[in-house]
Chain A
Amino acid sequence: MSIASEREREQRIQELIVRVLRIDAPVVALVRSEIPEWDSLKHMELVFALEDEFGVRFDEAEFAALVSPGEIANIIKEHLAS
């Protein structure tokens, strides 16, 4: 995948985070524990939204590891490469 499309993917991840968490601004460098709105219900909604968007299925270990935009991008990248 090209750098441009990786950037597009990261952009789309940010958009999904902002939409699902119902927050005003992207959370580029933050992790879940630092974002009050990233609660367990919205986490589940976010995981399902990411699965639908990127056509992947996260396992349970990944479910818990999707805690920042960077981690999300890395895990999705691994899925798409496999």
Chain B
Amino acid sequence: MRHSLTARGLRFALRPVAEADAAFILQVRRGHPFIARGAESLQQQREWLASYFDREHDYCFVVEDVSTGEPHGLVGIYSIDRERNCAEWGRWVLRAGSPAACESALLVYTCAFNELGLAKVYCRTLAENAQVVSFHDSCGLERMAQAVEVTVDGNPRLAVEHHLAREHWPIVRRRLAALAERFAQRGKAAASTS
């Protein structure tokens, strides 16, 4: 959907996806082993964006460098259930070697809890994507005991589901914010010596 939700961190920010991001989306998702195949051409990507803009309760973001505007990746909050006041977050893809993981997760939770007022968010990670499963464990999210079946490119796959409730968010926030802050200080130090 078209939205105006943004979140600015110390080093990275989330901003709404725009039509002009089609080429970046295509590029950053291409060849990624743990996400749906998605668009295979710029035209298909533009068509996906057009359908996304028509969809309600679906927030897609570009993760970008706050200083340069350089895009580092994508992330989304979707399947918003206003009755249960919860949503899924995912479609999380960062370009190889990007250091934006911790701060982009922090910003997603900031949007979910502070801006959208959700009581809980959850994410589903393909079970074989072990480092991302570990990331959510390391953040302090609650891992569900039972794997869930998801469909990727028409095929059933097993995914690990993690939950974060609003009451546990301050603990996760402290952990992620401390890392994001130290990483951002490095950027400031480099800028002041160049």
Interface residue total, chain B, C-beta cutoff 8 A: 23
Name B140's closest neighbour in chain A (CB-CB): A41
- Chain B residues 77-96 with CB under 8 Å of chain A are 96
**Contact-residue size bin, chain A (C-beta under 8 Å from the other chain):** 10 to 19
Q: A38, B99: Cβ atoms under 8 Å? A: no
B-side interface residues toward A, CB under 8 Å?
96-99, 101-102, 130-135, 137-139, 175-176, 179, 182-183, 186, 189-190
Closest chain B residue to A32 by CB distance? B131
Q: How far is the CB of A48 from chain B (nearest CB, A)?
A: 6
Report which residue of A41, A42, A48, A59 has the largest number of chain B beta carbons within 10 angstroms of its beta carbon: A41
Cross-chain contact of A64 among B97, B138, B179, B182 (Cβ < 8 A): B97
Determine whether the beta carbon of B182 is less than 8 Å from that of A48.
yes
* Dominant SS among interface residues on chain A: helix
Q: Are A64 and B186 in contact (CB under 8 A)?
A: no
Interface pair B186/A40, CB less than 8 Å apart:
no
Do A42 and B99 touch across chains, with their CB atoms under 8 A apart?
A: no
Which B residues lie within 8 Å of A36 (CB)?
Answer: 130-131, 133-134
In the A-B complex, the 6 residue pairs with the smallest Cβ-Cβ separation, listed nearest first, are: A40-B101, A64-B97, A36-B130, A39-B135, A39-B134, A41-B138
Q: Is the CB of B135 within 8 A of A44?
A: no
A71 within 8 A of partner (CB): no
Shortest distance from the beta carbon of B175 to any chain A beta carbon, whole Å: 8
- Please, which residues of chain A bring their CB within 8 A of the CB of B189? 57
Inter-subunit contact B130/A40 (CB<8 Å): no
Q: Which residues of B contact A54 (CB under 8 A)?
A: none
A41-B174 Cα distance, complex, nearest whole Å:
13
Interface residues of A in 19-76 (CB under 8 A from B): 33, 36-42, 44-45, 48, 57, 59-60, 63-64
